[in-house]
Amino acid sequence: MEPNLKTNLMRNLKFFTVVAILAACSAPKESAQIEEPTSLFKTTGSVERLDSAINQLIPAGAEIEILASGFEWSEGPLWLESQNALIFTDVPMNKVWKWTEQDSLSLFLEPSGYQGEKEGKREPGANGLALDQNGNLILCQHGNRQIARMKSTLDNPTPDYEVIVSAFEGKKFNSPNDLVIHSKGDIYFTDPPYGLDEWDTKELDFQGVYRIDPSGKLSLQIDSLSRPNGIGLSPDEKTLYVAQSDPEKARYYAFDLDENGNVISGKVLLDVTASVGEDRKGLPDGLKVDKKGNLFATGPGGVLVISPAGKLLGTIMTGEGTANCAFNGDQSYLYMTADMYLMRIRLK
């Protein structure tokens, strides 16, 4: 739904009170002087349209809105339909934030990942978030090196977690990064080493993509990717998509699933290695798939829009290293976590 007149008036009033903050936010992250995350309303970036098909997905004139700023590294956006709200993680700060059109920004959960006493962890918090079939919050916990379930309800979140899986064949995971949940309850997740610190012991000699079936059984699905990261399912749930955030092999893969949900074959859907470093920040990271099977996949430049056949239709140019994205309930908006920002763009 388009913002109503009241919301627009509120935005205009807020604009004049945050001019100084906006000037700081337009500077590189290291020079920004924001001590606490702040709600903002500002437009940025552009949409690069390479194929006319993108016009059926993103309307002409659609603008990228900055909704909030001041995060260390925003990630894991998840739409909560029951609350008409978006939650997302700030991985280094070990927090989950909540944003709504009505109430703006508020702290949702802390700590989101690491609960130990060891200091100096670079990325202790949760990364990817998802809801299971019962509406429970499932978290990829970097610091705890596990997939966990929040014990409390979404209406009264508390940092009490139940471990779902934390090891493969007796060896600790690297740092579970992102996940997607099948309608039958299977959880697929990626396990690159980004959450490990120098004092952490890496116990697995590969970076895996795993499946947890509804009975809780864990199985390794893919061990050949150097940096598996974002993950998603096609609308018919027969294809598993995985983004690889390796600057030497920056790719999006499509893997066929059998009737039991296991990977049986795979291919490169799109290779964007040539775009890495060409004044386009970011690598393949989080991704989401719309109802028609198009991928909205973060990567060089912002969010790449990719057809089910693997054709690059265009890019939502955020101007920042963009970690992940998520649709709202009716897919009329795409929310994007981009470095220190929370952004969104109107869809068609």
Written as tens digits, the pLDDT of the chain (348 aa) is 433 433 343 344 333 333 333 333 333 344 333 457 877 778 889 999 999 999 999 999 999 999 999 999 999 999 999 999 999 999 999 999 999 999 899 999 999 999 877 667 889 999 999 999 999 999 999 999 999 999 999 999 999 999 999 999 999 999 999 999 999 999 999 999 999 998 889 999 999 999 999 999 999 999 999 999 999 999 999 999 999 999 999 999 999 999 999 999 999 999 999 999 878 999 999 999 999 999 999 999 999 999 999 999 999 999 999 999 999 999 999 999 999 999 999 999
Helical spans, DSSP H, in 287-347: none
Supply the DSSP string of 186-253, one letter for each residue: -EEEEE-STT--TTSPP--SS-EEEEE-TT--EEEEE---SSEEEEEE-TTS-EEEEEEEETTEEEEE
Residue 53 in tokens: 């098909």
> Using an 8 Å Cβ cutoff, are 107 and 98 in contact?
yes
Measure the CA dihedral 199/205/210/213, to 10°: -90
Global pTM value: 0.89
- Domain of residue 295, CATH code: 2.120.10.30
Confidence at residue 122, expressed as pLDDT on a 0 to 100 scale: 85
> Using an 8 Å Cβ cutoff, are 120 and 197 in contact?
yes
Domain count, the chain: 1
Q: How far apart are CA 344 and CA 338, in angstroms?
A: 10
Tally the residues of the chain. 348
Q: How far apart are CA 37 and CA 154, in angstroms?
A: 22
Q: How far apart are CA 25 and CA 104, in angstroms?
A: 18
Q: What is the DSSP letter of 143?
A: T
Measure the CA dihedral 205/196/77/103, to 10°: 160
Confidence at residue 35, expressed as pLDDT on a 0 to 100 scale: 55
Confidence at residue 12, expressed as pLDDT on a 0 to 100 scale: 40
First to last CA, the chain: 11
Domain that holds residue 311: 5-24+32-346
